[in-house]
Amino acid sequence: NKSVIFLASPTEYPVPGKHFAVETRKLNTELKENDVLIRNLFLSLDPYLRGRMRDSHIESYIPSFQIGQPMVSGGVSEVTESKNLAFPVGSIVTGTIGWEEYTLVSGGQDLRVIPDARESKIPLSAYVGVLGMPGMTAYSSLKLIGQLKAGETIFISAAAGAVGQLVGQMAKRQGLRVIGSVGSDDKVDFLLNELKFDAAFNYKKGSILENLKAAAPKGIDIYYENVGGEQLEAALEVLNVHGRILACGMVSQYNTPTPYGVKNLMNIVGKRITIRGFFVTELAEECEADFAKDVGSWLIKGEIIYREDIAEGLDSAPEAFVGMLQGKNFGKQVVKIADL
């Protein structure tokens, strides 16, 4: 059973071969009552997994990976053996899987059957993207805490990524003016020409603050925070009075031992800014049904676009993960482990 094994905690970007590596191990296939054996098809690579590579002594909201064990993530799989009535052999499931070809899922854990998966026109990778955790992150945060109003201006960082591309399109549907920042000119083109953002800039070119001011002559009302650091600093400067920050993540801070010191926090007081952090896991339940109905129908009707970046084969997973943390992904980063 080919697997990606966690070897050591990085302090900066993880290095394939040093912090995680592909190995082939014997798989235990002895199922106990309620266990399920799955063949993994798609694996989701997400920034929060970098936090799970931390030293196990450091406390956090989510357990660290165990050294010598396969990394885990969200995925889509086919049930190949089952002692669990909820997961018949042949069903297609989504949930937490190992970075490996096959996973023995004790008690079925958090798996969920994807109904009619084999007949559907929706690609299976969507269940770790637009119809999975990143899609739910965008949808639930805007719906439950965003308080979006037509005519407002929203600025989104990492705007071409798994979450960002949806936040922008969902905000546009509600009549907001949408500005995005990204790390390449190709991504700027994508935001402007395919997703129809109102403005976009490459944060690696010129001053972030000047680019943001030029894109938002009337200031911004909401900053959808995905990266932290200098972009947060610029957003604080350009936010309007009573502006809001939806703090989703700060990916620029995940691979550096020296955090960026944001210098202009006084803006929070002066402009009475609200900063609200959230976890998708705490928001998801409340809008599960609406999410499936709304986003499912927008997708089928072609009313939203969802770009994915699919790396081929489990061997490519470590490099693809580091690439995603460095912005080499163009859209939601997925690994295709096997064909259905």
Shortest reach from residue 326's CB to ligand NDP, in Å: 6
Minimum gap (Å) between residue 208 Cβ and ligand NDP: 10
**Structure token digits, residue 183:** 């790390």
- The reply to whether 227 sits near ligand NDP by the rule CB under 6 A is yes
Q: Is the C-alpha dihedral spanning 40, 42, 45, 49 positive or negative? A: negative
- The residue (of 58 and 269) whose beta carbon lies closer to ligand NDP is 58
Task: Name the minimum Å distance from CB 180 to ligand NDP.
Answer: 9
Q: Where are the beta strands (DSSP E) in the chain?
A: 2-6, 20-24, 36-44, 72-82, 92-98, 102-105, 112-113, 153-156, 177-182, 199-202, 220-225, 239-247, 274-277, 308-312, 332-336
**SS3 state of residue 88:** coil
The burial of 223, by beta-carbon neighbours within 10 Å (0-12 exposed, 13-18 middle, 19 or more buried), is given as buried
Stretch that binds ligand NDP, among 24-32, 156-164, 266-274, 289-297 (CB under 6 A): 156-164
Q: Considering only residues 77, 94, 169, 252, which one is a binding residue for ligand NDP as defined by CB under 6 A?
A: 252
Q: Return all residues near 102 (Cβ < 8 A) that are at least 6 apart.
A: 1, 27, 29, 37, 38, 39, 40, 80
Stretch that binds ligand NDP, among 12-20, 211-219, 263-271, 274-282 (CB under 6 A): 274-282
Task: Classify strands 2-6 and 220-225 as parallel, antiparallel or unpaired.
Answer: unpaired
Is there a contact between 39 and 124 (Cβ–Cβ < 8 Å)?
no
Q: For ligand NDP, give the closer residue by CB, 148 or 158.
A: 158
Task: State in angstroms the smallest separation of the CB of 283 from ligand NDP.
Answer: 8
Q: Would you state the torsion angle of the CA atoms of residues 179, 183, 186, 188, taken in this order, to the nearest 10 degrees? A: 10
94 in Cβ contact with 79 (< 8 Å): no
Smallest distance, ligand NDP to C-beta of residue 135, A? 10
For residues 272 and 241, is the Cβ–Cβ distance under 8 A?
Answer: yes
Give the single-character DSSP code of 63: P
- Residue 280 lies near ligand NDP (rule: CB under 6 A): yes
Please select the residue that binds ligand NDP; options are 3, 91, 94, 329, rule is CB under 6 A. Answer: 329
Shortest Cβ 82–ligand NDP spacing (Å): 30
Query: How many other C-beta atoms lie within 10 A of the C-beta of residue 207?
Result: 12
Amino acid of residue 91: S
Q: Of 54-62, 157-165, 169-177, 205-213, which segment contacts ligand NDP by CB under 6 A? A: 157-165
Q: What burial letters (b/e) apply to 142-170, b meaning 16+ CB within 10 Å? A: bbeebebeeebbbbbbbbbbbbbbbbbbb
Least distance in angstroms from the C-beta of 45 to ligand NDP: 8
Task: Assess 48 for contact with ligand NDP (CB under 6 A).
Answer: yes
User: Which part of the chain contacts ligand NDP (CB under 6 A), choosing from 25-33, 43-51, 64-72, 110-118?
Assistant: 43-51
CB burial class (10 A; 0-12, 13-18, 19+) of residue 34? middle
By CB under 6 A, which span of 1-9, 123-131, 296-304, 328-336 interacts with ligand NDP? 328-336
Stretch that binds ligand NDP, among 53-61, 78-86, 181-189, 292-300 (CB under 6 A): 181-189
**CB closer to ligand NDP out of 38 and 128:** 128
Answer yes or no: are the C-beta atoms of 128 and 331 closer than 8 Å: no
* Residue 127 beta carbon to ligand NDP: minimum distance, rounded to whole angstroms: 15
Using rule CB under 6 A, residue 163 touches ligand NDP = yes
How far apart (Å, rounded) are the C-alpha atoms in residues 90 and 283? 31
Q: State the minimum distance, in angstroms, from the CB of residue 163 to ligand NDP.
A: 3
Size of the site for ligand NDP (CB under 6 A): 31
* Cβ-proximal residue to ligand NDP, closest one: 161
Which residues are at the interface with ligand NDP (CB under 6 A)?
A: 46-48, 134, 137, 158, 160-164, 182-184, 187, 226-227, 248-252, 278-280, 324-325, 327, 329, 332-333
